[in-house]
Amino acid sequence: MSAIDDYRAALERLKAGKPTIVPKGSDINKDTVALEAGRKRGAIKKSREEFEGLIIEIEKASAHSPVSTQEAKINRLKARLDAIKQELKAAKKERNVALNKLVATVHQNFQLQQKIKQLGGDKISVSETIKLGRER
């Protein structure tokens, strides 16, 4: 399958509203066709003669596209919102892990303070307390 065939197949998927790489509802233009074909943005250039027919097909499809630019914007914003929700979920998990570590540290600190009191910690200096902590 040639590169032009890949681009045409990508264009057909976009026209059908069933892209596999770019988000559904994306505008039909040279960049989205290139991305959907697995190429880089800007790969389809007017300066290359082999793309003349393809560019005409893309322009026709863009003009007759049932997806309005407003719908495309909404779809892009929905995709961005989903990504942000995933980031938030990951951040909440990290926060919970950090809070659990903090609670464990506070509990351990409390236990050590109780141990110091049992050993007569009221009369022990700070440097002796540090030595006790190192011994444990």
At 27 the three-state DSSP class reads coil
Show the tokens assigned to 76.
């892009």
Q: Is the pTM of this model over 0.85?
A: no
Give how far Cα 33 sits from Cα of 2, 17, 30, 42, 100, Å.
15, 12, 5, 10, 48
Measured CA to CA in angstroms, residue 133 lies from 99, 112, 113 at distances of 24, 8, 10
pLDDT, residue 39, reads: 92
Work out the mean pLDDT of the chain and round it to a whole number: 85
Which two structure tokens, joined as six digits, stand for 13?
A: 């998927």
Return the DSSP state at 122: G
Q: Alpha helices of the chain — where are they, by DSSP H?
A: 3-16, 30-36, 52-63, 69-118, 126-135
| Per-residue pLDDT tens digits for 49-99 | 889 999 999 998 887 765 556 777 788 889 899 999 999 999 999 999 999
